[in-house]
Amino acid sequence: MPPFTKQAIAQELKSQMKTKPLDKITVKELVEACKINRQTFYYHFQDIYDLLGWIYKTEALGAIQNSKSYGEWQQGLLMILEYVQSNRELCMNTYRSLAREHLESFLHEVLYGLLGDVVDEIAGAQPLAKENRDFITRFYSYAFAGVLLEWIKSGMKTPHTQIMESISRIMDGNFLAAIYRFQN
């Protein structure tokens, strides 16, 4: 299989999602547009939702890998916001479809990874029980994801930089305070 097959299928899905809802796109339409057979599609993906998840993971996760520290978490979050903004049709169409849970899952996964590393770094050598670390990380990842989902739901009218500034203002000192409370 050519190495570009997965990317070609992904690009076709993104292209079709600009003009029609995800729920109305079929594997048949994708494979015909890509000039491949159904077996090739199913070799790479279980279904369209699996393809959608792969798109989110490959396009956005790599961008934040170097922004998973306390000093850089804001840059990582800004990259996520920029990805959502630049893929507006894809994200809004996903949000408004049966695949909404895939978008929510993606946001929780990427934010959990980003914030988990931040919590680990702040905790440092101080003992923080795994369940407390997981709770803090989950709490903040759900809060951030909720803000992002509400932003998508409202049509992304607020500039993503303003969303980032608001989150930063709320979070100033809160990671440290939460970890300190759970350590003591």
pLDDT at 1: 44
DSSP string, 129-141: -HHHHHHHHHHHH
pLDDT score for 98 = 78
Average pLDDT, the chain: 87
Contact between 51 and 13 under an 8 Å Cβ cutoff? The reply is yes
- What is the pLDDT at residue 64? 63
Domain boundaries, the chain: 5-44, 49-183
Report the C-alpha gap between 31 and 11 in whole angstroms: 12
Q: Which CATH class is domain 49-183?
A: mainly alpha
The reply to whether domains 5-44 and 49-183 share a CATH topology is no
Structure letter (DSSP) for residue 47: S
Phi and psi at 155, nearest 5°, equal 90, 15
Give pLDDT, residue 65: 61
Q: How confident is the model at residue 152 (pLDDT cuts 50, 70, 90)?
A: very high
Burial pattern 150-183, b for ≥16 Cβ within 10 A else e, equals ebbeeebeeebeebbeebeeebeeebeebbeebe
- 0.85 exceeded by pTM: no
The model's pLDDT over 101-137, given as tens digits with 9 standing for 90+, comes to: 888 888 888 889 888 888 888 888 777 899 999 999 9
What are the tokens at 4? Answer: 């570009």
Domain covering 5-44 in this structure, CATH number: 1.10.10
Q: What is the structure's pLDDT at 2? A: 56
pLDDT digits (tens, 9 = 90+) for 22-50: 889 999 999 999 999 999 999 999 999 99
The answer on pLDDT for 170 being more than 60 is yes
**In this predicted model, what pLDDT tens digit does every residue of 59-103 receive, in sequence order?**
876 666 655 556 678 888 888 888 889 889 988 998 888 788 888
